């Protein structure tokens, strides 16, 4: 499944609607730390392993495309 992800910083929230995920993280986007937090939060919310989630594009952007495989 492919999702569009919109990231906001300095907030804590997670909303999933259809194929859109809006997520807030407090981690600074330094050396991929925010991307790791995003993957962990989505995995926890969906009750799946983080290894099933891969960022396909937008590694350095607040707009990302992720793929969730199972």
> Domains of the chain, with CATH numbers?
2-68 (3.30.1200.10)
Q: If you write DSSP's letter for every residue of 48-64 in order, what string do you get? A: S-GGGEEEEE-TTSSEE
Please say if the pLDDT value at position 60 is more than 90.
Answer: yes
- pTM of the predicted protein model: 0.92
Q: What is the pLDDT of residue 51?
A: 97
Distance CA 54, CA 70 (A): 11
Please say if the pLDDT value at position 70 is more than 90.
Answer: no
Distances (CA, A) of 31 to 40, 45, 63: 16, 24, 17
Q: pLDDT digits over 5-51, tens only?
A: 999 999 999 999 999 999 999 998 899 999 999 999 999 999 999 99
Which helix (H) or strand (E) element contains residue 20? strand 20-25
């Amino acid at each position: 499944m492919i999702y569009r992800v919109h990231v906001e910083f300095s907030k804590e929230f997670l909303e999933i609607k259809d194929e859109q995920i809006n997520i807030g993280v407090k981690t600074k986007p330094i050396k991929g730390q925010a991307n790791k937090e995003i993957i962990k939060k989505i995995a926890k919310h969906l009750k799946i392993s983080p290894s099933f989630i891969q960022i396909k594009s937008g590694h350095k952007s607040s707009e990302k495309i992720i793929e969730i495989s199972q």
